[in-house]
Amino acid sequence: MTIRDIVYVGDDRLQQVAAPITEITPDLKQLATDMLETMRHHHGVGLAGPQIGLMARIFVAEIPASHSKPPHPQSGVTYVLLNPNVIAHADTFVEGEENCISISGWRGRLRRPEWIEIQAVDLAGQSVHHKVDDLLARVFWHEIDHLNGRLYTDRITGSDNLWQVENTGVDTTTH
Ligand code: NI
């Protein structure tokens, strides 16, 4: 496994739409493994392809038990999802805080639909279906935004809703 270099805000690749994945190759599987390793290294709960310069529609997500005390009820499941499609979502929005491995030292508050239902493909090529709410919904939205060239900061309104944080390198809520 390899910890990949992060693509940071200001790099055009974070504003580009990632391409659909047409073939699950050994290289892609290796990249997925590296993405998980890179996400964990940065204490993140999600990471999308473009954040390591892979302009393909793949993201990983995982809420570790160490994310909070007591462990978040959604912790302990690892997601590696290709070509995610949003097939339904809540009409109601919830406010929450986010940050991003690619936007080090900042944190913001924004509204996201309360739940999301997606269809995607796993690394075995099987179609998978997930309907998630709470923190995982926020992570899925955040990562799918990355695949469409959008950052959470693009969705923030009002300067009060974006602030600097001390970058300790151990923030456990980065996406
Ligand atoms: Ni992010």
And the tokens for 82? 């290709």
Residue 15, pLDDT > 60, answer yes
Ligand 1 centroid–CA 101 distance in Å is 6
Amino acid at 96: G
Compute, in angstroms, the gap from residue 141 CA to the centroid of ligand 1: 10
Task: Report CA(99)–ligand 1 centroid distance (Å).
Answer: 7
Query: pTM of the prediction?
Result: 0.94
Ligand 1 being an ion, which residues bring their Cβ within 5 A of it?
100, 175
Give burial (CB, 10 Å; 0-12/13-18/19+) of 157: exposed
For 148-161, write each residue's pLDDT tens digit. Answer: 999 999 999 988 99
Looking at the annotation, which residues are catalytic? 143
From residue 77, alpha-carbon distances to 74, 147, 163, 173 in Å are 7, 21, 30, 16
Q: pLDDT tens-digit profile of 42-101? A: 999 999 999 999 999 999 999 998 888 999 999 999 999 999 999 999 999 999 999 999
Q: How far is the CA of 48 from the centre of ligand 1 (A)?
A: 7
Question: pLDDT tens digit string along 94-117?
Answer: 999 999 999 999 999 999 999 999
- Give the pair of three-digit tokens for residue 47: 């990471």
Contact 71, 110 (CB under 8 A): no
Query: What's the pLDDT score for residue 68?
Result: 86
- Token match 């508050």: residue? 109
